[in-house]
Amino acid sequence: MDVAQRDRLYLAREEAAEGMQIARSQGGFLFDQHGKKYLDFTAGWCVGNLGWGNEEIRAAVRDFDGPTYVHPDYLYRGWAELAEGLAEIAPGKLTKCYRATGGSEAVEIALQVAMAATGRPSFISLAGCYHGNTIGGRSLAGDRETYPNLLPRCRHVKPPLDDRAADRVERLLKGEKVAAFIMEPVVCNLGVLIPSNEFMLRAMRAASAARCSLWTRWRPGLAAPANSSPPNISSWIRTCCVWPRRSPPVTRRWGRRW
């Protein structure tokens, strides 16, 4: 049986695999099983920001000589140092990190933190967005036909992100008890959808007035080609620009679980 046959038989997928078979990767290139070279424009769906086969990273993994596992309640130098480094580059007053194994889990934690910190039940997100595979992440996308039991208080804003969409965001933020408004600054998962500066400014003002957290790395000028830089969407957590002034009361309980 070849790889394609095995894949068809044993791997569950939403869509059939594309024909290309990856054997190795180096820098910005992928190589198939015959050694044919491809320039990886997708960067692994934007998670290959440091390039493939990066020698510094490979050496660090090879040379790692620490514990195989650390119980979450114990102290561990690596966790504390990583958290400190992330706090240094995070915007505003964000200084605490939760440990997560990937993006879906990080988003899930963040949804729970937002609800716990604000005492509010609702979320706003973009219709059809992708924030992970958990029920929370799926609820942000809003596909109730496939998943009838999604979280109930998720409100969606349909692209395009124009004045009408901004009107809806403002209405929702005024009328609902919104814990957080979640969106990618450049919505890669909706085909590189770039919101206008006006939309983002109105959304940020409305979120700020409602004392609601808006999770995005957007800053004025991001949408303008002249001074935009690619946002790092695989960042450790979809970052908060506006955060409720009360800090989450859940650290100890959560520290135990993660």
Ligand X SMILES: Cc1ncc(COP(=O)(O)O)c(C=O)c1O
Interface residues toward ligand X, by CB under 6 A: 45, 102-104, 107, 130-132, 184, 189, 233
Q: In terms of C-beta density within 10 A (0-12 exposed, 13-18 middle, 19 or more buried), how is residue 236 classed?
A: middle
Q: Smaller CB distance to ligand X: residue 186 or 207?
A: 186
The letter for the amino acid at 236 is: W
- Look at the block and give the residue holding tokens 């006006």: 198
Q: Which is nearer to ligand X, 189 or 196 (CB)?
A: 189
The DSSP bridge partners found for residue 24 are 31
Shortest reach from residue 15's CB to ligand X, in Å: 16
Neighbouring C-beta atoms of residue 240, cutoff 10 Å = 22
Least distance between ligand X and beta carbon 45 (Å): 5
| In the complex, least distance from residue 137 CB atom to ligand X, rounded to whole angstroms | 6
Least separation in angstroms between residue 46's CB and ligand X is 7
CB closer to ligand X out of 31 and 150 = 150
E-strand stretches of the chain: 22-26, 29-32, 37-39, 122-126, 154-157, 178-182, 213-215, 240-242
Query: Which residue is nearest to ligand X, using beta carbons?
Result: 103
CB nearer to ligand X: give 14 or 63.
14
- The C-alpha atoms of residue 51 and residue 150 are separated, in whole angstroms, by 36
